Amino acid sequence: MRGGIYVAVFVLPAERCIRVGALGRRRFSAGVYLYVGSAQRNLEARLARHGRRRKPLRWHIDYLARHARMIGAMTIAGGRQAECRTADALARRFARPIRCFGASDCRCESHLFFAGPPWRRTNRSHGTSTEKETPNE
């Protein structure tokens, strides 16, 4: 696929404050983030870029991607309208922690979604789990 839209999945291992360009410093809970974007050319190059930590900071997601790890992405054929429709669909299910994130040039509230704390394997059968629960907001 040369162009299209994507939902990239990032994991932030620990809560932290991150400066997100003009949006300023924001607190991000540890967990799984879904980011909806579009690249109408060179979609694969865009996704590879999201997976790199060191790069010029251009988009809001670049600031989060310095600290979070991209673990994968889904790609979908479509243009900008499909991008916002996908964001709208995710907004029905997931929290939007940062207003206007990735949505500077559309009317969506956000293109970033928080899908909850990361799944961790625990060893409950021995009752010795030391996992910290991350509260949902």
What letter represents residue 126's amino acid? H
Angstrom distance (rounded) from CA 66 to CA 89: 27
Number of neighbours of residue 97 by Cβ within 10 angstroms: 17
Candidates 23-31, 80-88, 89-97, 117-125: pick the segment binding Zn ion (CB under 5 A).
80-88
- Name which position in 12, 108, 110, 113 contacts Zn ion (CB under 5 A): 108
112 binds Zn ion (CB under 5 A): no
User: How many residues contact Zn ion, by CB under 5 A?
Assistant: 5
Is residue 89 close enough to count as binding Zn ion by CB under 5 A? Answer: no
Counting contacts by CB under 5 A, is residue 61 touching Zn ion?
no
Q: Give the type of residue at 58.
A: R
Q: Which residues contact 18 (CB under 8 A, 6 or more apart)?
A: 25, 26, 28, 63, 64, 66, 67
**84 touching Zn ion, by CB under 5 A:** yes
Residues near Zn ion (CB under 5 A): 84, 87, 103, 106, 108
